[in-house]
Chains A and B, each alone.
Chain A
Amino acid sequence: MRSWILALSIVLGLGVAAGPSLAVMQGQEKGGDDYTGPYTVVPKWPVPSRLAKPGRIFGSTSGIWAETPNRVYVSVRGEIILPETVNGRKVPPNFTGAFGALGMQATSQVPDMRNCILILDASGNIVEAWTQWDQLFQDGRGPHQIIMSPYDPERAVWVVDDMRHQVFKFSNDGKKLLLTLGESGIFGDNDDPTHFRRPTDVAFLADGSFFVSDGDGNTRVLKFDKNGKFLKMWGTKGTAPGQFDTPHAIATDRNGRVYVADRSNDRIQIFDAEGKFLDQWQNIRNPYTIRVSEDGFLWVSSGVLNEFLKYDLNGKLLYHWGTYGTAPGEMWSVHEFSADSDGNLYVAEVFGGRAQKFAPRPGADPAKIFRQQRLMPKNASN
């Protein structure tokens, strides 16, 4: 009797243990290494383009911002020379792949500043090229980031140019330059409120005020009112709380907290809207870009890990995915990322020299999908 009960328990136990696994196995594809996380890469996005001059190719891709699934802004650091050979092998003159696929960083040349701001549709076609503004980036290395404020019904487009030390605000259609901060080609020191030294990113508050991380040269954050009037700044060079070493990205949450990717200090620092230090999360290697999601999490792209990392707003690491490489779905230093309202993820690879689009897998865990902060409805007049 005892052995019969034991046998029954084992069978029941196995049933309980094996039941769900078997059920999962029956509906699951076999194999796979999940290197694109909860997404699948969208092939041929962008559609290969011949927009670059003959003998040239798009260079470093620095920024990307999805206003809608059908209007994705991409900032490109101009065009660079397509080599005739790489490691003794001939490169086809009509090569339209990414520069990184040749095994070289897309930042390795002095670029020709053409086609620096592009707009792509859902299929990856280039539908606009704001060539009217290319001259702004001459003598520099092109845009550093491109972004919109989630609180702006006009949907103005902000572009940061680190090597020319300027921040630009364009009308949504690209016809007007609405605001310029900084002086072209002139850098300022850490105590100079009118000149940047290689600014890196912009983040916004609901009242229209905004922050600039400054940057690759200086070690501070500046706050401006909605009209671009300087309000305050904080930060010096160092490793103590409130100090920075390459503040490379900045983001805000809905409560007005300010998150700064303190890149060379391998950490995220958190401040209130007036610059009061609140917290720091350490041991986050080379945070290139940070964005707070609509559902209240901080997402980080690590330039050296080539991974996305998801943190709750107390700094707890919840999830990460990503793999280095130049094949579709792999990444080489994501410099900015964005997501549209359908959950598609877009990445700009600064060394890979390309943009990629990832679509959520059917049935993907929603907790693993980056949800960009929702934009205010666009003004009807636009």
Chain B
Amino acid sequence: MRTAVMSAVALALALHTAAPVEAQQQPNFSGTWKLMKQDPPTTGRGGGRGGGDDRGALRALEATPVTVKIAQSGNDLTFESTMSDGWVRTLQFKLDFAYTENPLPPGGDGGEPRLNGATKTRGRWMGNKLYLHLTQGLGQRRDILTLNGGMLAIQRDYETPGGSGTLYLTFTKVS
């Protein structure tokens, strides 16, 4: 009887310990994802290349992709965004929080000179959420990636000298 109780306690302890580990398991976001929902709806890059004012700066950073293609392997992640006008931007991330410098493709500043310059990126895990940070000129963006019931959720926060905002994006996996 005593052995049975001890075994039960040991099992309970093991399960108790294992549960958080499983909850904290880092997901793999690899795949091609299609945008299903955007909240709030905006007129991002998909709707135009932006202007030279602060709204242009916001548009450049809040740019909402219609599809994203993610390749994640170990410490490396490639995040390729395709906008509704066909414009593609590819960013590389190291997930140990080391910086990667990415070239700025034509049009990447949204017409805002203060967003002109190379893009520095870095990523890190916070539990099972992946934080992808981006600095470009005087603009910054933070994407928080989670998997939720097979859907990819991205909370996209951005900062520019003229303003800040948050977008909630939901994607479904297509391949």
Contacts and interface: CB of A to CB of B under 8 A. Distances in A.
A109 B114 contact: yes
A120 to B, nearest CB: 26
Interface residues of A, number: 15
B113 interface: yes
Contacts of B161: 107, 141, 163
B117 interface: yes
Nearest to A110: B137
Given A163-B140, A217-B159, A197 B164 contact: yes
B81 interface: no
A187 B141 CA distance: 9
Given A110-B116, A185-B140, A198-B164, A139 B159 contact: no
Interface in B86-134: 113-114, 116-117, 120, 133
Contact of A186 (B133, B137, B164): B133
B157 interface: yes
Nearest to A60: B161
Interface in A97-121: 107-110
A216 interface: yes
A109 B113 CA distance: 7
Interface residues of B, number: 15
A110 B133 contact: no
A216 B133 CA distance: 19
A322 interface: no
Contact of A141 (B120, B133, B138): B138
A141 B160 CA distance: 10
Interface in A277-291: none
A331 to B, nearest CB: 20
Interface string B158-173: 0101001000000000
A140 interface: yes
A163 B159 contact: yes
Nearest to A189: B157
B135 interface: yes
B140 A187 contact: yes
Contacts of A109: 113-114
Task: Give the interface centre of B113, B137, B161, B164 by most chain A CB atoms within 10 Å.
Answer: B161
Contact of B133 (A185, A197, A217): A185
Given A141-B161, A163-B140, 13 more contacts: A109-B113, A110-B116, A110-B117, A110-B137, A141-B138, A163-B159, A163-B161, A185-B140, A187-B142, A197-B159, A197-B164, A198-B164, A217-B159
Interface of B: 113-114, 116-117, 120, 133, 135, 137-138, 140, 142, 157, 159, 161, 164
Interface of A: 107-110, 139-141, 163, 185-187, 197-198, 216-217
